[in-house]
Structure 1
Amino acid sequence: MSKLILNILGLAALGILFGCEKELNKYEGKPTVYFYDAGKIPAFNGDNPKDSTIMSFSLAKAQDSIVNMVISVTGAKSDVDRPYKLVINPKSDAVAGSHYEILNSNFVIKKNRLADTVKIKFFRRTEMQSKTYLLNFDLEENENFSPEMKYRTISNRQVSLVSYRWFVNDIIKKPGRWLDGYFGTFTRKKLLLMAEVLGIEPAYLDASVSIAESTAYGKFMQRYLNEQKAAGKTVYEDDGSEMMMGVSVQ
């Protein structure tokens, strides 16, 4: 009986050893490459991993914007530079040279590093006022890295580790603190004129402007419009109506 028990224990030990060897084998081969924003560990509450970003010019004065996209790899650091393969997904409809430009000359994890930053310059274009354009990046396998880790699940939501999407537009939105009583009916043309005349960023009216500032801004803009009209340069909205500020500042 004891010999039978010993045989059974021996087989069990071999089975465990074989199972462990199979598990270890999963980690052999190339390091994996992934988008940092998708694979990161949240640093604070609300810092959620993501595989896409909306890049909107709607409340900005700038005509272009440079953004960073970080690529990370697993495994140990290397004492040589290691190129990785980053490609544009054919689903993208953003046009290189017109809607964006990639500022990196190559895609490389530098020696003694585990990450690289891809710099993308987006250009503000008129067609973005009515359409959102997609720029979709994919990480693919090459001689140095494998995109073996494809997804992670967070709160029943799948986040891609190897595909990242940028949605870029200039579709205007009404700022959160736009008060019709001071600023009148919201229009894109009025918002941009206010930003120009007042020397503020449109985004300032979204979350930062105070009631006192809104009153002052409304009165200043109405005085400006009145002066333009008196000079024979009446400012009109795109629909042909005269631009007016709110009833509280008339």
Structure 2
Amino acid sequence: MNKLFFNLLGFAVLTILLSCEKELHKYEGKPAVYFNEAGRLPAFGGEVLRDSTIMSFSLAKAQDSIVSMVVATVGAKKDVDRPYKLVINSSSDAIAGNHYQILNPTFVIKKNQLGDTVKIKFFRKTDMQAKTFLLSFDLQENENFSPEMKYRVLTSSNKKISLINYRWFVNDIIKRPGRWLDGYLGVFTRKKLLLIAETLSIEPAYLDASVSIAEMTAYGKFMQRYLNEQRAAGNTIYEEDGSEMVMGASVQ
């Protein structure tokens, strides 16, 4: 009886040890790497996380823009630098050196860190006025990290977003500012918006959400006076369609 008992006990211990070994083996793999913007916690209630960003020059005066993309990893910090593999997805049609430049010399999680910031410089190009270009990144496996965390499901919408693919959509497709009033500024055109911004030293985006009616009136009157002065000096300013540029009826 005792012999049978000890045999069963030994078998149970062996089974437990084998189970523990299998459980421990799960954690011997490489740490997972992912795009932080999709994997982070929401900053506030109702925030919608996403695996892409639209980067538009439409209401900006700048000719280029530097953006940040954070790559993060799970697990403990290490006392050595750990390179990770970041590649351009073949679906991208943005052209390196023309539409963008990646400023990082290497892609590496530095020692005692759990993340890295990739800096991307986008250049404002004429072809962006008619088309949105895609720059898509993939995280791939290397000797240090595994992209095994492939996606997450948002509880608010049940939408699946990628943790290992991040997309940038960049364009310069102009939009009419939200507070643009034809009565003061006239018919909206790209050329007129950029001239107003240059002449008044304001950001085009200011006309989208911040400008007051009083300012709009002053801007319209100032710009019409400027256009009149340019015409009197023999430098009439025309729209792209060849018509003379004018401001709104309320400021004539």
> TM-score by structure 1 length?
0.91
Residue 50 of structure 2 corresponds to which residue in structure 1?
50
- Listed one character per residue, the Cα deviations across residues 161-200 of structure 1 (whole Å, up to 9, x for unaligned) are 0000000000000000001111110000000000000000
In structure 2, runs of 5+ residues without a counterpart are 1-10
Secondary structure, counterpart of 1:66 in structure 2: strand
Amino acid of the structure 1 residue aligned with 2:221: K
Between the aligned partners of 2:104 and 2:51, the Cα distance in structure 1 is: 21
| Alignment RMSD (CA, Å) | 2.0
Q: 1:157 aligns with which of 156, 159, 174?
A: 159
Change in 2 beyond 3 A, CA 1:121/1:227 = same
Residue 65 of structure 2 corresponds to which residue in structure 1?
65
Between the aligned partners of 1:12 and 1:41, the Cα distance in structure 2 is: 42
Between the aligned partners of 2:23 and 2:211, the Cα distance in structure 1 is: 58
1:214 Cα deviation after fit: 0.3
1:73 Cα deviation after fit: 0.3
Between the aligned partners of 1:192 and 1:248, the Cα distance in structure 2 is: 21
1:27 Cα deviation after fit: 3.5
Indicate yes or no: 2:122 matched with 1:139: no
Residue 228 of structure 1 corresponds to which residue in structure 2?
230
In structure 1, runs of 5+ residues without a counterpart are 1-10
Change in 2 beyond 3 A, CA 1:55/1:16 = farther
- Runs of 4+ residues deviating >4 angstroms: 11-25
- Listed one character per residue, the Cα deviations across residues 136-164 of structure 1 (whole Å, up to 9, x for unaligned) are 00000000000000000012111100000
Between the aligned partners of 1:178 and 1:15, the Cα distance in structure 2 is: 74
Secondary structure, counterpart of 2:219 in structure 1: helix
Between the aligned partners of 1:40 and 1:196, the Cα distance in structure 2 is: 39
Residue 77 of structure 1 corresponds to which residue in structure 2?
77
Residue 199 of structure 2 corresponds to which residue in structure 1?
197
Aligned residues: 241
Amino acid of the structure 1 residue aligned with 2:200: L
Q: 2:188 aligns with which of 186, 189, 199?
A: 186
Secondary structure, counterpart of 2:228 in structure 1: helix
